[in-house]
């Protein structure tokens, strides 16, 4: 008898921090000023009686948070409720000063909707159950052998985007999260900074014998804040549950945490049921009434969404699906890309080159400096000039990277960088000939390999001459010269 095969059933809940200026129920700042990170704000700087839950302090709804939640709902096809309620979710934790979290329970502001996900060439609708508004809790900091509480985050507005369990693999879950992240950042409702916890995910996962419909016991994996970690945590958890069931035991309903270092999930606590939280309508807040004009306003002001943008990039710029995905994953990147490409009369000629430089060298610079593309000194004009020179053979790709590196930090003009660093591409064969001869004389063993048909060696020899020319030589001309000097025929001739 062969072992039964299993299928996974996955549903994701995403907490997304809304980028309002102030908190959801008070006027404390909800986010750091431009250019400052959350960790640079002194602990308990942005707090007041309301977000600390002092007796008698009353919450006042922030209308900006409501508008952003409506925008999210409109973009994913939810029904926006004209009347929804806030409830208290009661539990004790040191970082929750009121002893309850204000959330939406019976009725959420947005119901239903869905997101299309493309996974392995298949387009699949992942339904949404609801999107509700709630406040974030504070943060416990464990250091110096004690636990300290920082309430700067208490009362920051969140939407929780609750998906139906329509996902069936870790990869599909990752694709769904990437799409959702692209949508909410494109809408401008969140900064979406995953390191700072602006976009974090709880994953519910269970397994069942393939082809059956009954749901198995589910496990919740809490607070994962990277696409890759969500995929890895789910992969581990599915295999763990299969092993439990295959050995004749039962999966325990519980909440687990994922440890990226060990690549394992481990139990955090047994899962609470909704009734454990003793939800009841918050008597301090009136029902949330949304006017039809607000919904109409958001509908008529929706930006072009990532899926539409991707389709346009495929059509107008002949980008590959993968490149189009990269260019549309972040607003700042797509704006930069479009700004560069608008400076060319034949965009399709240079689109691939622009996209490669953005996803390659510029992305590397961005990671290295922890700066987004629009926070650097590099402008779309810089990149357009580099691409123009590169596509006309007046700059080598090595030199192009050097220009981008220097412009990234200094913002200096492309012309003056090229002139000062002597980076103009050398297309003059007579100037390159002696360098080729010199390198060939030093590499007799490599030449033998090339003669015996090892074409890979050509790349090595061209690289050596490039280095000798300080990155200025035109690689195509160098290759030509090597073949001429050695009397080796080009591939096409042979
Ligand atoms: Zn406050």
User: How far, in Å, CA of 173 to CA of 221, rounded?
Assistant: 13
- Residue pair 117/176 in contact (Cβ under 8 Å)? The answer is yes
Q: What's the 51 CA to ligand 1 centre distance in angstroms? A: 4
Q: What's the 66 CA to ligand 1 centre distance in angstroms? A: 18
Q: What's the 240 CA to ligand 1 centre distance in angstroms? A: 43
H/E segment holding residue 124:
strand 122-135
Q: What's the 286 CA to ligand 1 centre distance in angstroms? A: 19
Q: What's the 370 CA to ligand 1 centre distance in angstroms? A: 30
User: How far, in Å, CA of 199 to CA of 181, rounded?
Assistant: 8
User: How far, in Å, CA of 8 to CA of 129, rounded?
Assistant: 19
Nearest Cα residue to 333 out of 302, 375, 369, 381: 375
Q: What's the 150 CA to ligand 1 centre distance in angstroms? A: 13
pLDDT in tens, the chain (494 residues): 456 699 999 999 999 999 999 999 999 999 998 888 888 999 999 999 999 999 999 999 999 999 999 999 999 999 999 999 999 999 999 999 999 999 999 899 999 999 999 877 789 999 999 999 999 999 999 888 999 999 999 999 999 999 999 999 999 999 999 999 999 999 999 999 898 889 999 999 999 999 899 989 999 999 898 999 999 999 999 999 999 999 999 999 999 999 999 999 989 877 667 678 899 999 999 999 999 999 999 999 999 999 999 999 999 999 999 999 999 998 899 999 999 999 999 998 999 999 999 999 999 999 999 888 999 999 999 999 999 999 988 888 888 999 999 999 999 999 999 988 888 877 888 888 998 999 999 998 888 888 888 888 899 999 999 888 877 888 888 999 998 888 876 554 44
Q: What's the 155 CA to ligand 1 centre distance in angstroms? A: 7
Q: What's the 27 CA to ligand 1 centre distance in angstroms? A: 6
Q: What's the 192 CA to ligand 1 centre distance in angstroms? A: 22
Q: What's the 203 CA to ligand 1 centre distance in angstroms? A: 30
Structural domains for the chain: 6-298 (no CATH), 304-421 (no CATH), 429-486 (1.10.10.410)
Q: What's the 70 CA to ligand 1 centre distance in angstroms? A: 23
Strand-pair partners of 147? 142
Q: Give the count of beta carbons closer than 10 Å to the beta carbon of residue 248.
A: 6
Q: What's the 102 CA to ligand 1 centre distance in angstroms? A: 14
Q: What's the 450 CA to ligand 1 centre distance in angstroms? A: 72
How many CA atoms does the CB half-sphere of 209 hold within 13 Å?
5
Q: What's the 37 CA to ligand 1 centre distance in angstroms? A: 19
Q: What's the 31 CA to ligand 1 centre distance in angstroms? A: 12
Q: What's the 235 CA to ligand 1 centre distance in angstroms? A: 40
User: How far, in Å, CA of 327 to CA of 331, rounded?
Assistant: 9
Provide the whole-model pTM.
0.84
């Amino acid at each position: 008898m062969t072992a039964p095969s299993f299928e996974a059933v996955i549903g994701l809940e995403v907490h997304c921090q809304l980028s309002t200026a102030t908190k959801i129920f008070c006027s404390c700042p909800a986010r750091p000023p431009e250019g400052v990170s959350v960790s640079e704000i002194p602990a308990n700087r942005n707090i007041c009686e309301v977000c600390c839950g002092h007796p008698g302090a009353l919450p006042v709804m922030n209308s900006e948070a409501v508008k952003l939640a409506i925008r999210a709902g409109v973009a994913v096809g939810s029904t926006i409720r004209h009347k929804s309620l806030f409830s208290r979710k009661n539990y004790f934790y040191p970082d929750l000063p009121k002893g309850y979290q204000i959330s939406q329970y019976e009725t959420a502001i947005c119901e239903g909707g869905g997101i299309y996900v493309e996974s392995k060439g298949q387009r699949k609708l992942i339904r949404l159950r609801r999107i509700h508004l709630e406040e974030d809790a504070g943060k416990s900091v464990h250091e110096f052998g004690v636990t300290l509480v920082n309430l700067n985050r208490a009362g920051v507005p969140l939407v929780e985007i609750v998906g139906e369990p329509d996902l069936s693999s870790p990869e599909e879950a990752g694709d769904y999260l990437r799409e959702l992240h692209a949508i909410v950042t494109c809408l401008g409702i969140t900064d979406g900074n995953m390191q700072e916890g602006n976009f974090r995910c709880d994953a519910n996962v269970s397994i069942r014998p393939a082809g059956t419909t009954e749901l198995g016991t589910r496990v919740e994996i809490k607070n994962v804040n990277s696409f890759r970690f969500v995929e890895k945590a789910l992969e581990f958890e599915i295999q763990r549950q299969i092993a439990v069931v295959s050995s004749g035991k039962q999966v325990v309903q519980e909440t687990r945490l994922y440890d990226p270092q060990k690549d394992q999930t481990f139990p955090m606590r047994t899962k609470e049921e909704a009734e454990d939280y003793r939800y009841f309508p918050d008597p301090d807040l009136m029902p949330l009434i949304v006017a039809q004009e607000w919904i109409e306003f958001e509908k008529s002001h929706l930006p072009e969404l990532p899926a539409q943008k991707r389709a346009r990039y495929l059509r107008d710029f002949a980008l590959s699906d993968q490149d189009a995905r990269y260019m549309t994953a972040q607003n700042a990147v797509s704006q930069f890309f479009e700004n560069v490409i608008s400076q060319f009369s034949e965009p399709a000629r240079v689109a691939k080159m622009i996209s490669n430089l953005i996803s390659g060298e510029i992305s590397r610079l961005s990671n290295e400096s922890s700066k987004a593309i629009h926070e650097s000194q590099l402008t779309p004009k810089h990149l357009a000039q580099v691409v123009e020179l590169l596509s006309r053979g007046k700059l080598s790709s090595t030199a192009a990277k050097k220009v981008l590196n220097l412009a990234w930090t200094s913002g200096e003009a492309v012309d003056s960088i090229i002139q000062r660093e002597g980076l103009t591409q050398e297309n003059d064969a007579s100037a390159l000939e002696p360098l080729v001869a010199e390198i060939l004389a030093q590499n007799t063993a490599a030449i033998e390999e090339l003669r015996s048909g090892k074409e890979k060696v050509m790349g090595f020899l061209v690289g050596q001459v490039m280095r000798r020319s300080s990155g200025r030589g035109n690689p195509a001309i160098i290759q030509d010269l090597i073949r001429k000097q050695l009397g080796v025929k080009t591939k096409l001739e042979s």
